Each structure stands twice: as C-alpha cells, then as structure tokens.
Structure 1
C-alpha cells in the first residue's frame, strides 16, 4: 500500500523535466531572432555631429527598411520644430528651414519592416549668419487704421533681387472679409528695401487683416539671413477721407462717402505746389517744430506748429499755420496745407493713420515715389502689380 504512491511520484518527475527543457529551448530561439532583426536605418539632414551645418534647408529625416513612428525636434531654446510625415511613413520634413547659429536635437522612433522598434537621437549646430536681417512692420500689431493703409514691411538689410521671390512667397495676408491685393517691392525714402501689400481698391471698413511671415532660415542675400517668423494683425476702422481742392483753398472731410465739413487753408505756392494724387496718412504729431532745413530750404524758418498730420516722408503735411494771414485766400505754403489751429485739430482728430488725402487741382506734375511715405495709391492697380517679384 505504501509503495504505490512512491512509484507514481517517480513516474511524473521525468515528464516535468522534459516540459521545462522544452520551454527553455523555445525561449532561447525567440530572443535570438529579435537580436538579429535589423532596425530601420535613420538618416537625418543636416548630419548629426555637425558644428556648422549648411543654412537654407529644412530638417529632413529618412527611414530605410522601416517607417518613422514619431519625431521630436527642438532647438536649443526648447522650441518644438513642426514638420510633416510622408504618406508612406518613410520620411519627415520640417515646415521651415534651420536658423543660423542654432543647435537642434532630433529624436526619432521607428519600426522596421520586420517589426523591430528603435529610437535614435541626432544633434547638430548650424553655421552663423554674416548678418541677421530683421523687419519693421506697419501697421503695428492690434492697431486700427484707415481704409487706405497698406501692409508695409521695412527690412534693415538689403534684399538681393534673386531672393525676393522666395521671401514674397513666405509672406501671407489673410482678410475677413476676403479682399484682393498684391505685394510690391519698394525702395523706402531712407534707402532701405521694403515690401508693401495693398488692396486693389480701398479696404472695406471693419476688415480684419492677418499677416504671417514664415521667414525663419530664409536667405536674404549678401550674407544676410532671417532667424524668426512674424505674425501680426490689424483692423480697418471707419471710412474717413479728405480731399484738398487747391484752387479753392479748401479741405473737405468725408465719412462713408458723405461730406462732413469743409475748412479753408493754404496749399503750396506756384513755386512750391502741393504734391498731387492720393496720399496716405503715415503718422501724426500733436506738436512739432517746422524746420526749413529738413525740406531743402536752408535756415529760412523754424516755426512751432500743432496738430501735424504727415503725408509724405519728404515733408508734405497738414498742420496749423497761425502765422499765415492768407488762409483761405492765397496758396503760399512750401507744399503743405496750412490751417488755423482749431481746424488743424479737427483734421488731426478726423483722419486716422492709414486714411487717404487726395490733392486735386495742383500744378505739381511730379509723381510722388511710392517709397516717399506710404504712397501706394500713386499707382494704378496694373502698375502696382508689376512690382511683385512673382509677376
């Protein structure tokens, strides 16, 4: 009776040992297979380890023998670099180009064609720029302006002609409601390069305007590079305009196309007639000293004026002229339109920056250059379109 259980225990021991041996053998085979399965080969451009990677290109990643499952690319400030994965998952490209003098860290996750998962990290530093190109935008972000205001972008360094098309492509204007317009390259009165966007006709009151410039890493020529993107917006205010009738010595204000007041003043003399055409109010100054030397008349006068509305960069203003005893009778200024102090205040308050002032009946036949202020309305729409680098 006692011997039977012992024989049963002995009988089961070999079975258990065989089973354990079999499981161990299978486990060794799977580990060996995973170890020999190759991971996808990842290539990052610019190449990892570079200390002066070439400028002007995006970050590009390629996976051979597998697919990219995740990308984490950041610059040395911790800012993420956005990009797009190809439809087949084998390549990734950043949305913008690399910035000068910046270190990038690129982490990738891949799965090989055989199912092996892997991760890799690549780091590189881009070359320094000879010059960093910056811009100044008008209007400023959040500003409310008149119906004649262009988008005006002034560059602090020269833009090579063969680089203008790429820069223009990187600049986008979106509006609500939709408004037709175009970019045009301009030489500013101070000699710098500028690009302006004007609508085909005046802005509708209330239009919301957004401007974005994906300029990071773009070559501006002659050793200059952009190192950041730009994003600003503004709103078009009420429809306020003015018309100067030179022979009648008057300035009439219009709101929504209807006259809301006419005042008397003095335009430019026959020897210095006021510039004609449509001007855009570029800035305003509540108090200013009129210095004859700034407009080429030497030291003939130095007069204090109030409520000064600036039209051209060369000195065509609307301003108070309390010293002039011939307002409304004789045109005897040096090109400006002078008024009484109270009338100048009315005009100053009525015309926002970006509103238009049309000068009619002047004997001045000189065309005002577009860069002499915000003079985009001195040209017809077909003329303006010829200024685009993409025409």
Structure 2
C-alpha cells in the first residue's frame, strides 16, 4: 500500500511536464501578438496645440491599419460631424474648427496584423479677434405667410470673396420639396443680408428647415469668424393675400385665391404715390405713432394710429387713419393705405407676417429695393437668381 503510494507521483510527472509545455506555448503566442505594432494615428491639428489655426478642418489618418471608430467632441460636449473614408484609412470633419474651443479626439484602430488599439488626444483653437453673428427671420417655430423669405442678417460685413463659402454652408430643406435660391441683399439698415426665396409663393402647409454649418468660416477682415452653427425651422400657414387697386381706393383680400372681402381706403397722393409691386408683410403693431420725420416730411405731423401692418422698412404701411375724411373717395396719403379703424383691424387680422400685398395702378414707377423690408418679390425669378454668389 505504501509502496504504491510512493510510485503514484512518479507516474504523474510526465503529464505535469506536458501540461507545462502547453502553457508555455500559449504564453509565447500571446507575447507574439502583443509585440505586433498598432496602427499609427495622426490627428490634425496637432494634439497638444493650444492655438490651432482657425479655418482648419479636423482630420485623422491611420497608417498600418484602419480606423474602426472616430469620435470628436468640442468642450461643450457637442459631437463634430465627419466622414470616414471607404477604406477606413482616414476621417475628415464636415466643417471647420470654432474659435477658442478645445476638441477631444477619440480613436479606435485595427492594424493590418489585427491588433486593436485606442487613443485620445486634445487640441485648442486660437481666439478670434472678431466674431460675426446672425439674426434669422422668421424666428424658429413661427407660422408665416406664403410670401415669406428666409432672411439672414449679419452683425458685421461679409466680404464678397467669402460669400460663396457662406452660401454653400447654408441649406434649406422643405416638405414638400420647393425650388428656391439664395440671394445677397443690402438691408435697409446698411448691413449685409442673405435671403432665400422660393421660385413661386410657398404652398400652404409647407415645413421649412434651415441649417447653417457656419462655425469656423471667416466672413472677412471686417466681419470676423463665425463661432457656431445655426438650425431653425418654421411653417407656412394659410394662403392669405391682398391686392390694393389704387384708382378704385380698394384693398381686396384673398384666401386660397378666393375673394373674401374688400376694404375702402386712401392710398398715396399724386405727390407721394404708394410703392407698387408685391410687398411682403414684415411686421405688425397694434398701436403706433405715425411720425412724418421717418418718411422725409420733417415735423409736419405726429399722429396716433392703430392696427398698423408694415410693408416696407421706409414707411409703407396699412393703418387706421381716423383723421382722413376722404377714405374711399380720394388718394391723399403720404404713401400708406389708410382705412377706418375697424377696417384696418380686419386687414391686420387677415394678413399674417409673410403674407403678400400687391399694389396695382399706382403712378409710382420707382422700384422698391429688395432690402427695404422683405421685398424679394419685387424681382423676377431670373433677376433673383443673379444675386447668388455661386452664379458669378
């Protein structure tokens, strides 16, 4: 019994040696895999940079393998959109870097030998001497009339040689699809503006989305850099229009092309005829003081009016004119269309921001400048298209 017990370890020894040989072989295989080189990742701008140049794109390249994942975020946690090349060897951002922003780049790679690796790097962009901002009309979420353009007003000037890049970064998407084009405008305030108008009036119910991938684009030495992207949308409401027939002193309202009522009024006198063509309602005010100085008539009058619908920035309005005893009989205003207070409210309630008002039969032959309000319908479609920076 004891002898058998003493022989037992001797019989197990070859098995233990064999097992030890197998473990060594497996360990040798893991070490070999670990020694394989990982794919080399190059990030531009250079990681660690604290003043990366504005206007740069973010790019990532893998040598000796491919990128399996790229994630880039700014210091507010916003993900930077980009595209991975079909072969997986490179990635490039859709836009350009923003001023004074820290970006974190996280990558995952797989080498040609199959080794997987991950890495994280950061860089910070330089500060912009001047930042350009914009104000969009209509505001996000609004419901507007069928003549409303997309209008973008810039805080600072936009150099002519920068306009094409800015225009390319702006995108209008509609449902249903509507043909339209961007056009550069000088606003009545003197600031630069770009508007998008449809070829024809919007169909009622259209949903409109506007995106501007402007961050990191330079608008010129006098304008500065854009520091953010923009994204807003609005909806086209009911089809409400009005037509003013100057000789008959009448404003007629149309809903979906159907006459829904007329209003008597008083248009501009022969000395101050009402501006002709198609105007877009740009704003409204329930009560307002009409000041003659604002339309070049000095201090001749200052009158309180109600239910004021603004057409041009220079002072062509629809409004109540209780002081006028010639409504429906004589055109004797200084360019506006005056009505009784009750009729002015009817027009005010019927016409939404973005509705159109066409003036016919006026003796005013002066063309209203597009920037004098939202006057995009003062030009034909062919004329409008020539305002695009991409056509020159």
Cα distance, 1:299 vs structure 2: 0.9
Change (3 A) 1:352 1:7: closer
Cα distance, 1:112 vs structure 2: 1.1
Change (3 A) 1:158 1:5: same
SS at match of 2:172: strand
Query: What is the 5 A alignment of 1:80-91?
Result: 80-91=79-90
Cα distance, 1:162 vs structure 2: 1.3
Query: What is the 5 A alignment of 1:260-339?
Result: 260-339=260-339
Kindly provide the CA deviation profile for residues 231-276 of structure 1, in whole angstroms up to 9, marking residues without a partner as x: 2111111111111111111111111212222222111111111111
What is the number of equivalent residue pairs in this alignment?
390
Give 1:363's aligned residue.
363
Are residues 1:381 and 2:381 paired? yes
Give 1:221's aligned residue.
220
Cα distance, 1:24 vs structure 2: 5.4
Cα distance, 1:29 vs structure 2: 3.1
Kindly provide the CA deviation profile for residues 20-44 of structure 1, in whole angstroms up to 9, marking residues without a partner as x: 5534542553354234311111000
How many Å separate the matches in 2 of 1:261 and 1:9?
A: 112
SS at match of 2:275: coil
SS at match of 1:220: coil
Cα distance, 1:325 vs structure 2: 1.2
Change (3 A) 1:16 1:184: same
TM-score, length-scaled by structure 1: 0.95
Give 1:171's aligned residue.
170
Structure 2's unaligned 5+ residue stretches are: none
Change (3 A) 1:233 1:4: closer
User: Could you tell which deviates more after superposition, 342-351 or 214-223?
Assistant: 214-223
How many Å separate the matches in 2 of 1:177 and 1:36?
A: 58
Cα distance, 1:205 vs structure 2: 1.5
Give 1:99's aligned residue.
98
SS at match of 2:294: helix
SS at match of 1:270: coil
Cα distance, 1:8 vs structure 2: 6.2
How large is the Cα RMSD of the aligned pairs? Answer: 1.7
Query: What is the 5 A alignment of 1:25-174?
Result: 25-27=24-26, 29-174=28-173
How many Å separate the matches in 2 of 1:298 and 1:67?
A: 73
How many Å separate the matches in 2 of 1:11 and 1:368?
A: 108
How many Å separate the matches in 2 of 1:11 and 1:357?
A: 107
SS at match of 1:307: strand
SS at match of 1:377: helix
Cα distance, 1:96 vs structure 2: 2.2
How many Å separate the matches in 2 of 1:220 and 1:233?
A: 24
Cα distance, 1:334 vs structure 2: 0.8
How many Å separate the matches in 1 of 2:2 and 2:364?
A: 132
Structure 1's unaligned 5+ residue stretches are: none
User: Could you tell which deviates more after superposition, 165-174 or 301-310?
Assistant: 165-174
Cα distance, 1:316 vs structure 2: 0.3
Change (3 A) 1:33 1:348: same
SS at match of 1:30: helix
User: Could you tell which deviates more after superposition, 232-241 or 351-360?
Assistant: 232-241
Cα distance, 1:16 vs structure 2: 4.3
Kindly provide the CA deviation profile for residues 319-362 of structure 1, in whole angstroms up to 9, marking residues without a partner as x: 00111111112211111111111111111111111111111111
TM-score, length-scaled by structure 2: 0.95
How many Å separate the matches in 1 of 2:31 and 2:311?
A: 81
How many Å separate the matches in 1 of 2:180 and 2:256?
A: 22
Cα distance, 1:148 vs structure 2: 0.8
SS at match of 1:221: coil
User: Could you tell which deviates more after superposition, 24-33 or 94-103?
Assistant: 24-33
SS at match of 1:344: helix
Kindly provide the CA deviation profile for residues 42-65 of structure 1, in whole angstroms up to 9, marking residues without a partner as x: 000111011110111221100000
Give 1:348's aligned residue.
348
How many Å separate the matches in 2 of 1:144 and 1:389?
A: 29
Kindly provide the CA deviation profile for residues 138-197 of structure 1, in whole angstroms up to 9, marking residues without a partner as x: 111111111111111111111111111111111111212211111111010001111111
SS at match of 2:252: strand
SS at match of 2:219: strand
Give 2:199's aligned residue.
200
